[in-house]
Amino acid sequence: MKKNFLGNSGIEVSEIALGCMSLPSDAKKAGIIVDEAIAQGINYFDTADLYNKGKNEEVVGKALKRHRKDIVLATKVGNQWHAQSDEVNWNPTKAYIKEQIHASLKRLQTDYIDLYQLHGGMITDDSEETIEAFEELKKEGLIRAYGISSIRPNVIKRFLANGNIASIMMQYSLLDRRPEELLDRIGQAGKSVVTRGSLAKGLLTGEGLQRAAKMNGYLSYGDLELKTVLENLLAVHDNLHAVALHSVLEHDTISSVVAGASSADQIKATIDAYNTPVSAEQITQAKKLTRQDIYQEHRE
């Protein structure tokens, strides 16, 4: 599998990454999925301290422990969850980040994290304090690089201007092309985008039409319009999954597509789609059939 550099960090990541949020909590079952991902050439694994209140990190840590030197491990911080309730508070402070890194390291059974990401962000945050925390963690050798997971243009522009982030995680798919207005700017700054939601809740897979029939539209697409768009995309290429992946990976700023999987078969399906040829002309046609919306909020 092709690998790309993550911004200017020097870290190389596979073009398909495993988003670990969907991994089963059973360690043996999770291990089978992780082993399949590695066998298929995936070296990049993404989790967060928020997922299942830290238990996902524990599962990931156990599954990846024997592969640690061969993989790129990413997690996220900033959502302060409470063990005894469903309450979650946003906390991007330096003190909290520098405290939580140790909890994540323990759960992940490692002494460093390759990519530590701020799991959100608002324009009212003290971003200088957040950046200072990440920079100190780099100097301490606890992280190799840092990034943000955000779709807010004003937050992204602030971190591009003031921080040495390696990457930005953004929801991006043929059915959600809002990030496109920012991709050139991010790439020109020497940073990468890693994507999530690129299969649009399974709409851009072989089950797309069946899933659409059970949904009342998707984002700015109404119910009927969504079904029509999917049918038209299938006329361009009979493998929606492949078109979805290659259309996102086409832009040089995209380093990796983070795709979830709850079974080894789902990993295989994603890799089969990745290995299915899609022409530049087919990508162009697919984009003509979909809408290029822009973010309406959080712009200034």
Which positions are annotated as active-site residues? 51
Alpha-carbon span 221 to 197, nearest angstrom: 16
187 Cβ contact partners less than 8 Å away, ≥ 6 residues apart: 251, 252, 253
Residue reference for tokens 């939601």: 197
Q: In angstroms, what CA-CA distances link 102 with 35, 96, 105, 107?
A: 26, 11, 5, 9
149 sits in which H/E element: strand 143-149
Q: What are the DSSP calls for 98-131, one per residue?
A: HHHHHHHHHHHT-S-EEEEEE----TTS-HHHHH
β-strand pairing of 3-5 with 143-149: unpaired
Helix (H, G, I), strand (E, B) or coil at 246: helix
* Residue 77 phi, psi (nearest 5): -145, 160
Tokens (6 digits) for 139: 């100097």
Distance of CA 39 to the CA centre of its chain: 20
Nearest to 74 by CA among 124, 140, 144, 161: 144
Q: Among 145, 266, 198, 147, which Cα is nearest to 15's?
A: 198
Closest of 185, 205, 291, 199 to residue 248, by C-alpha: 199
Cα(40)–Cα(21) distance, integer angstroms: 19
